[in-house]
A and B are shown apart, each in its own frame.
Chain A
């Protein structure tokens, strides 16, 4: 619980630092990408904070590159 409150506080600080200058310059697209990325970041951190595991991106890559791995190890053996 404490961890998630901490993460939310950090997210609030980031919003407080970043959003006013963006609104001032009227950079809407930047604001949208920023908000999406921040949401992903908070989501991942909260999941980890509650002690749940998240899927490892390297596992996905291992799955994708399995054929190439096999070819390389065949070529060099």
Chain B
């Protein structure tokens, strides 16, 4: 039942774009501007570059095992017991990030759109559509992504065109004042958010693509397009709001949409623009949730992952109320532990896979 699912490479491209943009579009500009000040956009370019290298590593691993998901690769390379331990650690990443993204969307809506609604109600609404999407399967998610990417890019173009008269080039001068070290430092959390976490796409990438050979290109191109969108948003934030203001805002992208003013007539369209963030947040959390549910099902060797969706969704919604007690905690966690967590699961674990594969290569070939 799980084997029949196949998506084509264009659909995968769209999913990668949404995954890369995801929560980064909402949260990354302020994180980048904190250290790199007016050079935040350079840090974003730098981060995209490093991200592409990481994605290339994932593609290489995927090409060695064209029909297996990440969990199955783990089991095959490390053996049953050690593989299961690594898989359990790996599954914790998409599951915890589902809860944090639920918390992000709840907080965002609570602050900006529905202030007197309790956050649990917003989280339940978001969680319900995520569970619904995952229950309907990967093909449904991919097809709806195909439709909504058009809406997303139209809104994005409107945002970019309408805000461009407000750009003040004094805000980004002097260029490259922060220095290389500061830029690398601040780009790290962006790399962790959008590229290192893409390791969870290895649950989809080689196994569920109809033409595996062409799968590498959309992964790289999708990551690049997503990176460019984030670079543009960061540049606009710094150029319109100024570095100090960007760093101080919780959602600088939203503040950007508030500044839109065309001839004193087109203004305050930020609620429309919020659709951008809701769409990308939804797809990112759906992909996370899909990866975690499928991962758990494969660890326990189940035939179908669907029965697990609703209980796991319930746990995720309950935890989403707990994970971020306050904003300070969230900012602190995002810039320190989230980076190390993503590094260890998204970089060290794949590198370990590469090493073990190099050692066991001949033995594995004999078996097959």
* A binding-site residues for B, Cβ under 8 Å: 10, 14, 17-18, 22, 27, 29-31, 33-34, 37-38, 40-42, 44-45, 48, 53-54, 56-58, 61-62, 65, 68-69, 72-73, 76
Contact = CB atoms under 8 A, between A and B. Distances in A.
A29 to B, nearest CB: 6
B323 A33 contact: no
Classify the interface of chain A: helix, strand, loop or mixed.
helix
B336 A69 contact: yes
B352 to A, nearest CB: 15
B181 A33 contact: no
Interface residues of B, number: 34
A33 B322 contact: no
B308 A37 contact: yes
Contacts of A68: 340, 343-344
A22 B308 CA distance: 11
B344 A44 contact: no
A14 B311 contact: yes
B66 to A, nearest CB: 28
Contacts of B322: 48, 53-54, 56-57
Contact of B303 (A14, A30, A34, A38): A30
A18 to B, nearest CB: 5
A54 to B, nearest CB: 6
Given A31-B307, A68-B344, A73-B336, 6 more contacts: A10-B314, A14-B311, A27-B303, A34-B311, A57-B319, A57-B323
